[in-house]
Structure formats: structure tokens, C-alpha cells
A and B are shown apart, each in its own frame.
Chain A
Amino acid sequence: MSTEVVNTARAKKQAMGPYGTVGKVLGELDDRLGVAKGGRSFLDKIFPDHWSFMLGEIALYSFVVLLATGIFLTLYYIPSQAIVTYHGAYLPLDGQRVTEAFASSVDLSFAVRAGLLMRQMHHWACDIFVGAIVVHMARVFFTGAFRKPRELNWTIGTTLLILAIVNGFLGYSLPDDLVSGTGIRIAYSIILSIPLVGTYLGFLVFGGNFPGTAIIPRFFMLHVLLVPAIIVGLVTFHLILLVRQKHTQFPGEGRTEKNVVGSPMYPVFMAKTTGFLLIVAGVTALLGAFAQINPIWQFGPYDAARISYAVQPDWYMGFLDGALRVFPAWSFHGFGYTIPLEVTIPAVLFPGLVFNLAFAWPALERKFTKDHAMHHLLDRPSNRPKRTAAGVALLANLLMLFIASSTDVIANFFHLSLNSVLWAMRILVVLSPFIAYPITYKIAKEIQLLKGGGKRKTANVVSRTAEGEYVATPSPVYVDDLHHELAATEVPTFIEPSVDVPTDGGVRTVTR
């Protein structure tokens, strides 16, 4: 009886083919969709290994955390500016007249289990998301990964940065607390400052004069539906292009413009990247647990006639706030009209210029270098001194604007006069790109001259001979510590070629 059962089971197993249930399911799928060939080559897809390729993953995974925690928050948040008398979980606010948006934000923090954790994780994940995008973009820029054929993906990435900043601001506004309400007021005034159409635009966006009762429901729709939908679509397209065009790689042993060297999708990359998703989520949870962020119950509800002192926006809006602080009071009045240049230039024209420069950069570089070739091998930043210096100059300028968003805090902390801090920041904002460019350029050129620049140093073993003489000999290298020796590919002549770099297509082998 029992042997018969065993025999039937064995027979069944044999009938399933050599790969069991997996093979059976895949067979059924392949009958209908023809997935076997494409699926196999997807599992074989090679991902080059370099720590800097992880930065985009941080952005992707913090976005996953944003979606997960955000869905939780929408279950409790009420997007309404209707006034209610607060009788919720946070007793110090009891009896205050607040909007439903504020009341529900406070209550989801205190009355909902894990609510505060989810809110803080959501906020931290947003700060990490925008930060990771910026650092990822810097990596792509300085290594030249945006060059042909990847210009379209650079454009998508820049659009994603803008959308991430916009959605961060929208979400930050939703609790309708005193600090974020002031931020909305400033945004309204920035819209008003646009010549010709500003007032019309402001009234359309806000459904009338500030504050009205439409802005929180509208921001809510934009924050949870429209902008995230566009972000999801663009992220998907970003990844499809990445798979289609394959990843770039740094030059090194066995690496050419015609191949990709690294780990396969399955199982190595899948294990590492899934683990990394868990780490990003875990670190966000730890931040949400131990690092307080945006304690709206301390700020209180928004009231257009009240204001708090020494408050800053989220970090990614810092450069805008700093620009608004340092720009002089140059309003244009004439012909019966006003152009509030003190707002229009720093808050509308300047960010427009920066992002358009980012969009245009690949085309500009193609035009000036006349380089229309395909590039799959990355640059070392020092081999492209002009591009590197230009990028550092822009970042230095943005950093100074970011610091300038804290002029009052700096003045208080260091007991300086606000006037001198402001003037120092004005000078630094203007000068920083002009200081950063030549210094970066010079450093890049010096690195090119270094022998063995960019190669891993091996430790020296110092030993004493019987005669008392000290001798240093390079230590042996363990196979897995062996660095991929960098060998740049052909460097076009329009850019200063680096010194002493073989141009053999990067197939130099390592011999010791």
C-alpha cells in the first residue's frame, strides 16, 4: 500500500520533467506568452559592481518606502480646511480651533498605532529620496554616464528630481501646521511675482486669494495621485531604458565599450539589491524611531497672522530660501506695473536656469566637444577637468545658497551681526563658483600627473635584515582584494587627455 503511494509520487515527479514544478509552471507560461528565452537572458543580465551604482538604488528604494508609508497615512489623514474644535489625543491643543487637516495629522501621530512612526518614516524617506537623487545625478554627471546614448535617461532623471522636490513640498504642506502654512504663503507670493500672469495663476492655483479653502485638498490630490503617478511612470521608463541600453561600467581588466562585466541578475544581484532594499527600509525605520522630524504639534495649527522664529524648510528647498534671502531688494516699478525682481529672479528665474542647464548639458557638451560617439565606459572625473570643474562650481554655488538659508541661525549661534553674515553669504554665493572652478580644474590636472592615480595602494611590509637594514617590500595581494586596475579608453583630443594612460580599449591585463 505504502510502496504504491511512493511509486505513484515518483512517477508523478518523473512526469514533471527534470525541473519539477518550476519547469511545469514555466512551460505553461511559455506556451501562452513565450517567456523562456527572454526570461533566461534577463536572469543572465550583468550588473557591473561599483559602490557608486548603489546611489540610484537608494533613491528607488526610499521611493518604495515612501509609497508604503504614504498609503498608511492616507488611511487616516483628512484633506480638509474645515475648522473644527480640537478634542483629540494631544491634550495641550484641546479646545483650539484647527483645520481638519491639522487635527487628523496630529491624531494619526498620537491616536493611531505606529502612526507617528509611519509619519516620521515618510518624512525621512522623502529627505533621503531627494538626497539620493541628487548624489546619483552627481555620479552620473561626473563620470560622464549621461553621454550618448543615455541623454534621454538623463532628461528623465532631471525631471524626476524636479518632481521629487515638488512633491516633497506638497506633502510637507499637508499637515497645515504653522511652519508649513508659512511655506504655502511664500509659494503663493512667488507665484504672484511672475510678470503679467502671476495674479491670475495664483488665484487659479489657490481658488481665490490666499489662503482660501481649496489649497489643502488640491495639494492632497497632487501629492498622492498626480505627481506620484508621473513619478512611477518615469521611474519605470528610467529602468526600462537602463535594461535596454545596459549599464555603464568603469574601465578595467577585460572591460571594453562592447561588453559589460559584473554579477548576473540572478542570483547575485537580486540577493544584493533585495538585501539593500531591506537595509534602506530598516535605516529609515530607525531614523523614524529615534530622530524626531517635523513635530507639528509643537508648531501648532496654521494661522495667517502668526509666525514662528528660526524655522527652515526641508533641506531640498534650502537653496531657494537662501536665494530669496541674499538677493537684494531690487523691485522694478514703472509704466504703471511692478516686477518684483527681488522674488522673480531668485525664486523663478534662477531655479529655471539651473534645471534647464541640467537638461541641456548633454547637448551642450556634444556641441562644444564635437563628440558624437557612443560611450559605455565611464570617465574618471579627473580626466575631464573642465566638466568636473563646472559641476563642482555649480554645486559650490548651491551649497552656499543652502547655507544662506540659515543666516539668522548662524548669526545667533556665533553671536555675529545678521548684517555681516548676510553680506558674507552674498559675497560667497557670487564668488564660490569662480573659486571652485579653477581649484577643481587644477586638482584634476594634478591627479592626472600622479603616477598610478586611482589605483589601489598595496601595503608595504617593512622588515629588518640581519645587518640591521630596513627594507620595504610591497605586500602580496589576495585575489579578492585585487582592484580592477583602471585603464581609460580612448580620450578624445578636444579634452585634455590624461597623462600616461594607455589607449588600448581597456583590455590591459594585470600582471604582478
Chain B
Amino acid sequence: MSEIHEHRTPVSLHGLTENDPHLQPAARNPQLVERVIAVTFLAGIASVAGFGACYWVDAAPWALGATMGLGLSFLGIGLVAWGKYLMPRGPFVEERHVLANTDDDRNAFAAAIVERGGGVIKRRKVLGGLLGSGLGIFGVVAVFPLLRSLGPLPKGTLFHTDWRAGSFAVDITGRRVQVGDLAIGSILTVFPEGTQDTDRGQAVDQTVLIRVSNESFTTKKGRESWAPNGYVAYSKLCTHLGCPVGLYEQQLQLLVCPCHQSSFDVHNGALPNFGPAPRPLPQLPLYIDADGFLRSQSDYHEPVGPGFWERS
């Protein structure tokens, strides 16, 4: 009992003799532990050498990772075991010193700031004010060009897409869509001609074209002429966060956004009926020209995509 107590009482590192119990290994059987650690190190050496060999012969990634991982782990486990079982068992103690200084020291420090430096500045208030305002003005104006160079101002760009009166609807390869192209229940992503392989065309103008029937289709009052021959076109940008509304539930006639599962009723003006999207997908008014091509009557009547401050 007393032996236990002696071993567990923390002592300072200073002035310990070599055979102090605190400096003895923690292991019950140091010779055995030493052998086990040696074997671990040997395994580690073999593995890291194996890593070199694997790299040399351009082995598969898993072989590289396995040899490297096992090698480092074996060496690490051996080293931790060495530290834990063969090094001085302790425990040792160290005194904490109060970091705070005496009141006199603190006052001297504060006095140096307030009386020595502060006094000099107080006597020259005008100079200090001028210098301060100079640096302050520079601080403000330096931010302006830095920020302003980063990008253009949004102006009205978020309010418009590249769909114009008479734009041909084309697919991703640039082929114009004709009235006979889609069967009922089919869907196609279309762009205004000329934008299909541009970043902006894909990010802003992307539109889903769904054929819901053979006859003109009204999704909402006032949109009687917008879906000729059953071709309905909605912006593909989710009104929640702008993900492409890429899933089409044919049975339920829903467009679903894979990001946060907002779903939009295709027959009913793309009104959201589930999920976090706050607004319907804007609908693109279409017409079919004399040659049977699908074209837009105009741009969307409202901004596409997620909400922003200036959007009314």
C-alpha cells in the first residue's frame, strides 16, 4: 500500500537520482515490451520499404496506401508504446506560476502609455487628428478600388435572360426543336439559339420543355397562348437556390429539384407544392412558327432563379 502511494505521488523532475521509482519504466515486464516494440518497428520498416518498392513498380493506389499507412502506423504505435511503457513512469509535477504582475508593474506599464505617449499626443491634438484622418481616409478609399476591381456591378443583369422575341429553342447540341420532336410526356432542356454552349446560356437561360398534350395548354389564367401544341416551357433554375430542376415525375406531372426536393406542379403554372422553394418556376411564352419551329414570344416576364433583394 505504501509502495503504491510512493509511486503515484507526483514529484518534481529536478534532483531525481537515476534509480528513483518515478524514473523507472511503467511496464510490468520491460524486456517483453521491448521485444514487442522491436517487432512493431521491424514491421514498420518492412512496410515503408514496401511503399518504396510499390512506388518504384507503379503499383495500384491501394497498395501504395496500404504499405504507407501500415508502415507509418506500425512505427507510430511502437513509438507511443515506447513512450508509454519504457520511459519514466512519473507522475511528475510542475508549479504553475501566476502570470499576472504586481499592481506596481501594471501601473508603470499603463503610466508609460498614458503619461509618456499620451501626453505627447494630447499636446499636439491637431497633428494627431490630421494624421488619424489621413490614415482613416486611406483605409476607406483603399477598400473601394480593391472591391470594385473584383467584379462588375450587377445592374439589371439578374432581371433578364437571353431569350428574346423570336429566339429559336435549341437543344444542347444546337439543333432547333420542331413541333413533332417530343412525344407526350417527354422532356428536353433547351436554350435560346447561340447560347447553348456558353456558361451564361447554361447557367441562366436553361429551360425545361415538356410536352403535356397535343393541344394548346393553359397552365394559368392569362397564359392561354403560351403553350402551343401542349409544349410547356419553364425556367430550369430552382427558385430556392438555383439548382437545375432536373427531375421530372411523369405520373404526377411534377418537376423536382434534386438539391432540396422542392417540387413544382407542371399543369398548374409550376406552383411549388413541396419543399423550400418560395415561388413558381417562371414560364416562358412559346409559339410555333410557320416552319414548325418552337420559338419564344419574349423573355421571361420575371427574374429567373433564387430570390435577391432588388427583385420586387
Contacts and interface: CB of A to CB of B under 8 A. Distances in A.
B80 to A, nearest CB: 4
Given A199-B154, A272-B80, A331-B279, A286 B65 contact: yes
B172 interface: yes
Contact of A304 (B10, B68, B203, B262): B203
B142 interface: no
B242 A186 contact: yes
A199 B158 contact: yes
Interface stretch (A133-141, A210-218, A490-498): A210-218
Interface string A149-179: 1000000000000000000000000000000
A408 B279 contact: no
Contacts of B308: 192-193, 198-199, 202, 338, 340
Contacts of B191: 305
A306 B72 contact: no
A512 B5 CA distance: 10
Contacts of B4: 477, 479, 482, 510, 512
Given A206-B151, A278-B73, A337-B312, A480 B89 contact: yes
User: Which residue, B13, B87, B276, has most C-beta atoms of chain A within 10 A?
Assistant: B276
Contacts of A214: 151
A396 B259 CA distance: 24
A244 interface: yes
A264 B92 CA distance: 7
Contact of A286 (B73, B172, B279): B73
A259 B309 CA distance: 57
A121 B80 CA distance: 23
B18 to A, nearest CB: 15
A325 B277 CA distance: 10
B278 A116 contact: no
A329 B277 contact: yes
A185 B243 contact: yes
Contacts of A262: 90-92
A304 B244 CA distance: 7
B182 interface: no
Contacts of A418: 261, 274
A289 B91 contact: no
A271 B91 contact: no
A27 to B, nearest CB: 21
A457 to B, nearest CB: 18
Given A263-B91, A329-B278, A337-B309, A482 B8 contact: yes
User: Which residue, B55, B79, B204, has most C-beta atoms of chain A within 10 A?
Assistant: B79
Contacts of A189: 240-242, 305-306
Contacts of B305: 189
B150 interface: yes
B7 interface: yes
B99 A244 contact: yes
A330 interface: yes
A277 B203 CA distance: 45
Interface in B69-85: 69-84
A109 to B, nearest CB: 9
A487 interface: no
B58 interface: yes
Contacts of B87: 263, 267-268, 271
A205 B13 contact: no
A282 interface: yes
Contacts of B177: none
Interface in B1-24: 1, 3-5, 7-10, 13-14
A271 B244 contact: no
Given A209-B200, A272-B83, A289-B62, A114 B151 contact: no
B61 A285 contact: no
Contact of B276 (A194, A270, A342): A342
Contact of B83 (A209, A275, A329, A343): A275
A434 interface: no
Contact of A203 (B64, B71, B154): B154
B309 A419 contact: no
A392 interface: no
Contacts of B310: 199, 337-338
A200 B153 CA distance: 6
Contact of B65 (A207, A270, A288): A288
Given A117-B61, A203-B153, A305 B80 contact: no
Contacts of B243: 182, 185-186, 307
Interface stretch (A13-21, A250-258, A357-365, A435-443): A250-258
User: Which residue, A279, A478, A512, has most C-beta atoms of chain B within 10 A?
Assistant: A279
A367 interface: no
A303 to B, nearest CB: 6
Interface string B138-153: 0000000001001111
B247 A329 contact: no
A198 B278 contact: no
A327 B275 CA distance: 9
A209 B92 contact: no
A192 to B, nearest CB: 4
Interface string A96-128: 010000000000000001101100110000000
Interface in B250-278: 258-262, 272, 274-278
Contact of B55 (A113, A199, A303): A113
Given A246-B96, A308-B258, A309-B247, A261 B91 contact: yes
A511 interface: yes
Nearest to A182: B243
B12 to A, nearest CB: 9
Contacts of A193: 306-308
Interface string A210-237: 1111100000000000000000000000
Given A246-B96, A308-B258, A254 B89 contact: no
A192 B75 CA distance: 51
Contacts of B154: 199-200, 202-203, 209
Contact of A182 (B73, B157, B259): B259
A279 B241 contact: no
Nearest to B172: A305
B38 interface: no
B294 to A, nearest CB: 17
B276 A324 contact: yes
B94 A260 contact: yes
Contacts of A202: 154, 308
B90 A343 contact: no
B202 interface: yes
Interface of B: 1, 3-5, 7-10, 13-14, 26, 28, 55, 58, 61-66, 68-84, 87-96, 99, 147, 150-154, 157-158, 172, 189, 191, 197, 199-200, 202-204, 206, 236, 240-244, 246-247, 258-262, 272, 274-279, 305-312
Given A279-B76, A304-B206, 11 more contacts: A49-B91, A199-B154, A253-B10, A254-B93, A264-B88, A277-B76, A279-B72, A284-B69, A305-B244, A339-B309, A479-B4
26 contacts: A44-B13, A45-B94, A203-B152, A209-B157, A212-B151, A255-B10, A257-B96, A260-B93, A260-B94, A260-B96, A264-B13, A275-B79, A281-B72, A283-B69, A285-B68, A286-B69, A286-B73, A289-B64, A289-B68, A289-B69, A325-B261, A329-B276, A331-B278, A340-B278, A480-B89, A482-B8
Q: What 7 pairs between A and B have smallest CB-CB spacing?
A: A289-B65, A278-B76, A271-B83, A275-B79, A282-B73, A340-B307, A285-B69
